[in-house]
């Protein structure tokens, strides 16, 4: 018997208990790892750049696309445009995830980048409601849906790809860099909005953003997308995927080595999916509150000028981008569970004081409040890529992560701005968004206690991934005393493959 990621007993055929040899390990080439990191990270940067510009232009977009509508209703319609992209995001994950398990991570990541850049650019070319009427909301929503479909394969694919490319001892740090890049992308979006607002209003007056300045941040997605596509065209395929692809048919008596469709992913990994749902619900509500709803909240409930909120966001998110990989590295040392516990307790303790500070209406209280919201969010984001990938085996990882992450982030994360605004409107309580996040953090705390520690372990269904041949030899030599090594979860069959980025011998 063995225990899976949730501590559930599973029967493993005796043929899977062969001892680990040094030549079974995957030794990663550092040059390929750097290419993979840059190629995968640039997509997350652009994804959050788009989220940033839409979030920080929400009030402007309301005037542009809902002109003539009641202002408060128009704001809800604009925020619904943000939420509608998440309606189809799970569809993207459910289609592109299993496809990535079949044809490879690299090809799917190339497609998602092209689709995302195109949709963002076209938004910048749409006519306004003043020009053609309120029907323009329909193509806006359709383009947001295309972005959502693309994003459904983007983050789950990038997280899967980097987790499989990373040495086991550094997986937390390597995958955390993805979300660090995401925060830099959001900060870049907020920064572009701030600079565009300042430059255009100085040159053409107070109405410059409404008159067309809002288009500039969206149109910048085109050169960014071309750069990203060029970078992704050069990345190698995940070596863990290639080894699993070569040998999966030889291990079809064990479900963790089989490439499953969505119904079978639900059948075999529903425990993992539930744990992932709870963690991503807390992660998503926390992070999307900071990045996507906070600008609207500060402008509508506190009265902060757009420039002040955008500049504060840039500084706080750059700080978060620095903090995330440090926390990821820390999780490689002390484990994922302690970090999750700190994140959930942090939200339960810090959010109410943060919202209280916001209403002081001063710059210092604005910065301090956003910092208090940012810290627990950074702890969550540092672990997302690693933990989601560690829940599922290699043969079905992209599909499992695509389903779990996208469905949870769509239901709970992407709707956070809309639900938060509705809660404020319905209850009249300006602290309602804080209680909303705290609820999911309490659930995530319980889920963390049910989760088995996964830091430093080889990914399920894969052999160990190491940085050197010497490390592989040391790992094989000490496997009997190493509780992180379980050969029943590894593809230890056939002759060693002698090539860079795969098994060496």
Residue 126, phi-psi category: left (phi > 0), alpha (psi -120 to 50), beta (remainder): beta
Q: Where are the domains of the chain?
A: 2-489
Copy the structure tokens of residue 336.
Answer: 């994922």
Beta carbons within 10 angstroms of residue 438's beta carbon: 20
What CA–CA distance (Å, rounded) separates 255 from 251? 8
Tens of pLDDT, residue by residue over 74-126, are 888 887 887 788 788 889 888 998 898 888 888 898 899 889 889 999 999 99
Give the ranges where 169-261 is alpha helix by DSSP (H). 171-204, 208, 215-219, 221-232, 239-247
Cβ-in-10-Å burial (0-12, 13-18, 19+) of 131 comes to exposed
What CA–CA distance (Å, rounded) separates 377 from 320? 9
- Contact present, 276 and 392 (Cβ < 8 Å): no
Q: Locate tokens 């959001």: which residue?
A: 186
**CA 480 distance to own-chain centroid:** 36
Radius of gyration of the chain from Cα atoms? 23
Cβ-in-10-Å burial (0-12, 13-18, 19+) of 253 comes to exposed
Mapping DSSP to helix (H, G, I), strand (E, B) and coil, where does residue 494 land? coil
pLDDT in tens, the chain (505 residues): 333 444 444 443 434 457 888 888 888 888 888 888 888 888 888 887 887 788 778 888 888 888 878 777 888 888 788 778 878 888 988 899 889 888 888 889 889 988 988 999 999 999 988 888 889 899 999 999 998 899 888 888 899 999 998 999 999 999 999 988 888 887 788 789 889 988 998 888 888 888 889 999 999 989 988 888 888 888 888 888 887 776 655 455 677 888 888 888 989 899 999 999 999 999 999 988 887 788 778 877 787 777 777 778 778 888 998 999 999 999 999 999 999 999 999 999 999 999 999 888 788 888 899 899 999 999 999 999 999 999 999 888 999 999 999 999 888 887 888 888 889 888 888 899 999 999 999 999 999 998 889 998 999 888 899 888 888 888 888 888 888 888 888 877 544 433 344 433 3
User: Please, which residues have CB within 8 angstroms of residue 270's CB and are 6 or more apart in sequence?
Assistant: none
CA angle 463, 464, 466 (to 5 degrees): 140
- Contact present, 189 and 51 (Cβ < 8 Å): yes
Bridge pairing between strands 26-27 and 465-466: parallel
Tens of pLDDT, residue by residue over 353-369, are 999 998 887 888 888 99
**CA 146 distance to own-chain centroid:** 17
**CA 160 distance to own-chain centroid:** 11
What CA–CA distance (Å, rounded) separates 285 from 415? 8
DSSP count for the chain of H helices, then E strands: 21, 4
- Contact present, 293 and 416 (Cβ < 8 Å): yes
pTM over 0.85: no
CATH architecture of the domain 2-489 equals: Up-down Bundle (1.20)
What are the strands, taking DSSP E only, across 290-401?
none
Q: HSE-up of 31 (CA within 13 Å, CB side)?
A: 2
Cβ-in-10-Å burial (0-12, 13-18, 19+) of 472 comes to buried
What CA–CA distance (Å, rounded) separates 379 from 340? 7
- Contact present, 183 and 381 (Cβ < 8 Å): yes
């Amino acid at each position: 018997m063995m225990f899976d990621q949730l501590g559930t007993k599973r029967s493993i055929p005796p043929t899977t208990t062969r001892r680990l040899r040094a030549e079974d390990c995957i030794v990663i080439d550092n040059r390929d790892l750097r290419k993979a990191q840059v190629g995968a990270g640039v997509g997350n940067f652009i994804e959050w750049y788009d989220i940033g510009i839409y979030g920080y232009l929400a009030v402007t977009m309301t005037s542009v696309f809902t002109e003539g509508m009641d202002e408060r209703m128009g704001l809800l319609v604009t925020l619904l445009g943000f939420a509608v992209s998440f309606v189809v995001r799970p569809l993207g994950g459910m289609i592109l995830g299993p496809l990535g398990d079949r044809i490879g991570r690299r090809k799917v990541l190339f497609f998602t980048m092209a689709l995302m850049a195109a949709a963002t650019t076209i938004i910048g070319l749409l006519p306004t409601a003043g020009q053609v009427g309120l029907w323009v909301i329909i193509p806006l929503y359709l383009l947001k849906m295309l972005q959502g479909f693309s994003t459904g394969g983007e983050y789950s694919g990038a997280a899967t790809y980097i987790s499989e490319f990373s040495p086991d001892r550094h997986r937390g740090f390597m995958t955390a860099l993805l979300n660090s890049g995401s925060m830099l992308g959001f900060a870049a979006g907020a920064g572009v909005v701030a600079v565009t607002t300042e430059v255009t209003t100085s040159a053409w007056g107070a109405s410059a953003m409404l008159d067309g300045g809002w288009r500039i941040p969206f149109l910048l997605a085109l050169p960014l997308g071309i750069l990203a596509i060029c970078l992704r065209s050069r990345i190698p395929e995940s070596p863990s995927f290639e080894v699993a692809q070569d040998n999966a048919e030889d291990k079809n008596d064990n479900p963790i080595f089989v490439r499953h469709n969505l119904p079978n992913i639900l059948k075999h990994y529903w425990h993992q999916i539930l744990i992932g749902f709870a963690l991503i619900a807390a992660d998503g509500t926390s992070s999307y509150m900071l990045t996507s709803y906070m600008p609207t909240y500060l402008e509508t409930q506190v009265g902060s000028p757009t420039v002040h909120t955008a500049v504060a966001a840039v500084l706080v998110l750059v700080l978060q981008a620095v903090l995330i990989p440090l926390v990821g590295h820390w999780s490689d040392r002390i484990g994922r569970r302690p970090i999750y516990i700190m994140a959930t307790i942090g939200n339960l303790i810090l959010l109410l004081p943060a919202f209280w500070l916001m209403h002081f209406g001063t710059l210092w209280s604005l910065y301090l409040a956003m910092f208090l919201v940012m810290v627990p969010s950074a702890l969550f984001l540092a672990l997302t890529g690693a933990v989601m990938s560690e829940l599922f085996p290699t043969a079905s990882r992209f599909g499992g992560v695509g389903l779990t992450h996208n469905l949870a982030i769509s239901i709970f994360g992407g709707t956070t701005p809309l639900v938060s605004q509705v809660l404020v409107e319905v209850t009249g309580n300006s602290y309602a968004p804080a209680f909303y996040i705290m609820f999911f953090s309490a659930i995530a705390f319980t889920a963390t206690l049910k989760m088995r520690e996964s830091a430093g372990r080889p990914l399920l269904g894969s052999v160990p991934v190491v940085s050197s041949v010497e490390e592989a030899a040391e790992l094989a030599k000490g496997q009997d005393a190493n509780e992180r090594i379980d050969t029943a979860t590894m593809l230890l069959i056939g002759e060693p493959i002698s090539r860079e980025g795969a098994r060496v011998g």
